[in-house]
Structure 1
Amino acid sequence: MKTPNLVVVGSLNMDLVVSSSRMPLVGETIEGEAIHYIPGGKGANQAVGCARLGANVAMVGAVGDDAFGAQLIDGLAEAGASTDRVARLTGVPTGTATILHTPEDNCIVIVPGANGQVTPDMVEASRDVIKAADALLVQLEVPLPAVERALRIAREAGVVTILNPAPAKPLPEAMLSLADWVTPNETEFAALGGGAAEDDASLAAAIERWEARYGNRLVVTLGSRGAATVESGRLRVAPAPKATPVDTTGAGDCLNAAFAFGLASGRSVEDALDFAVRAASLSVTRFGAQAGMPTLSEAEAAFAERSGDA
């Protein structure tokens, strides 16, 4: 199979994970147990996922001119992703997600920083690499006009477009129609107007209604069940193998990266989805969204074992 050329337009964050025994009360100061600095952002996670699988991948986005930005760029480069199209913005902080984690719960504060400064013109400056790609991956952690411009450039060039509509938010119909594939989880699908599915039959009907309306294909991720699509009028669920989860943070990003890799490598939709689900199942057995992304040999080994599952 060919080595795919992929482009990811999206976010780069540094996740600050603070662990404590409990949440502080309003106005209270407590002592924490640990802090971890974990590279994240859905765009960067997906770019690392593609690169680990062996794709030629270019990341398009922005960081600040600070230490976090430098660390994120270094991490992408170390994974094998091209960072030439990641802007370093002066006087703007790199995007962060501060996560207060306790044994019972967690709360998150996101500061978009440089991610919120990604403009259509910045995406336009990468028109050449988008047009040369086999597939484009986008998400919703950078402003929607930038996402739409990336989709439009790719669509005009005949590049396969994959929209991962996360985090969930309402989207213009014209923007949704620019995607060849849309990959929501069940909550995101409901937020986009697909409705809540009570069973496989209602999910199949909802997917068919969506595809008739927008003229594209849908993959709905189902958590530990796997992921579903409709083929020849039938719901097909790619089942997830049993796994003991350590960190599920980057599972969806891994699935999207591996699905894009599979399609752009020439796999059938069925094989690409099976491959993606198995890669994502591997990723949750390791700590850290980017650190958990599997290599091609690891994902291939898991894919080859699918016939032996109960």
Structure 2
Amino acid sequence: MTDIFEAIQRSAIRIKNAIDTKDIGYSNQANSSGETQLQLDIQCDMIIEEELSHVLSVNTIASEEKEHPMQLNKNGKYFIAYDPLDGSSLIDVNLSVGTIYGIYEGDFGSKNMVASCYVVHGPRVEMVFAHNKVKLHLLQGDNWEFVKEIRLSEKGKLNAPGGTQQNWTDYHKEMVDGLFKEGYRLRYSGGMVPDLHQILLKGGGLFSYPATSDKPEGKLRRLFEVFPFAFIYKLAGGEAINGKEDLMTLSHAHVHDTSPCFFGSKYEIQRVKEVYANN
């Protein structure tokens, strides 16, 4: 696992340099969802692929930017799914973006996840790595410094509701409004990584991306986004569900399968369970 951790660290430094200096315009290529890729999406994907290709313990990688997984080392035992630049559409307005990694042993799948990681590229570059504990690291120059272990409170204060409101169900909107009536503060940038990072570091709250009328199976991908953050939140003392079920009990049929998802402290997730149990 140490060699993977170090490859992620190297990738993050190279991605920081790419964000600082590379073209942020659109390419003439599309990703697995048919969305036109930014030049940076392609560059960051290539950086991570290159760094992980040097790690003999990595068998196969899957990128959100590629339609199919790619085998690197047939004798490796780890399978890594990653989103090279989550929230890349925020680059041109200079908001925080991130990279997400799900690390699986033996094959892809929630039951095979052994670690996960994300990197926040904002005013500072920070990395959260979850294996036995959830640990925060800060990039200082070209070196990474351990900062602290992260634990969530039982109840938070932040509410980050994703998805277009006109496509929400009535009961979901009522639940979100109910949290605001309790004094929760809106914190939503449109970037999954910085929004979930803020909830983790500020003690707790709720991030939700529900099933909507236009995306009944959810928008966020299980292997690249949903499972990695579910692993982190549960290890940090929180919970992660799809409305009713624990996200880490879900299977997948295709590498790009999606799911509705809710991440938060125990109090907020209990609220979600109560609302969704009756609908």
TM-score norm. by structure 1 comes to 0.28
Higher relative contact order (CA 8 A, sep 6+): 1
Query: Would you tell me which structure has more strand in proportion to its own residues?
Result: 2
